[in-house]
Amino acid sequence: MNKKGLFISFEGGEACGKSTQIKLLKEYVSTLKNKEDFVFVREPGGTPLTEEIRRLLLNYEIDKPLPMTELLLFCAARVEDVEKIIKPALEKGKIVIADRFYDSTIAYQGMARNIMNVEQILKLTKTIIGDIKPDLTFYLKLSPEEAFKRKSKINEGLDRIEKEGLLFHKQVEKGYDYISNLEKERFVIIDANKTPDEISNEIIKKLNNKINNM
């Protein structure tokens, strides 16, 4: 395996099926002889500190963070995950699978919250984590309207960001469309209206092609 490893990220708006696809990918990886070569991480999360940051960001209703505080907390968690999990794994030649990375910040805090523009977020990202970026990003694309239909069937368990209105999530989609068009070489756009098995098969095929071409 290439010593620098391989960094894969999953992105998408709410209810796109991202968590389901990562679960299916974990199940597939568990059947492989080289399953120890894979490292899964979610953002924010993965360490005691970043899991606490996740709780503050997604579920803290008593004193909701200001938009800029929200952005900086996500960035703080990203530094922790990169330095403690992602970078060490890549240096060992591992295949890192991340549930969200800085593209989420561009879509949610950049485009939807309008805290910073895309160029400013990319500059901030480079400042705090250097040149670490995904080699391949699976963007599960689902219209906000369809996402709201799916979420309407879920009455409990939605986090603070998932509860945002339709306009907010349309801006999130706009952000993802912007960055995926800007960096076409690393993005794989997947129609999230397909069945979970169809999507999983597509992801596994493209992932294996990427690994085989390392």
Mean pLDDT confidence for 121-126: 97
Please give the tally of structural domains in the chain: 1
Q: 214: pLDDT confidence band, cut at 50, 70 and 90?
A: confident
Rounded distance between C-alpha atoms, residue 150 and residue 192, angstroms: 12
Distance in Å from the first CA to the final CA of the chain: 7
Is 62 domain-assigned? yes
Q: Is 156 a residue whose pLDDT tops 70?
A: no
Those residues whose C-beta lies under 8 Å from the C-beta of residue 147, and which sit 6 or more positions away, are: 13, 14, 15, 16, 169
Q: Is 1 a residue whose pLDDT tops 60?
A: no
Question: Helix %, strand %, coil % for the chain, to 5?
Answer: 55, 15, 30
pTM of the model: 0.94
Domain housing 84: 6-212
Beta bridge partners of 191: 141
Is 1 domain-assigned? no
Mean pLDDT confidence for 23-28: 98
Q: Is 115 a residue whose pLDDT tops 60?
A: yes
Q: Is 111 a residue whose pLDDT tops 60?
A: yes
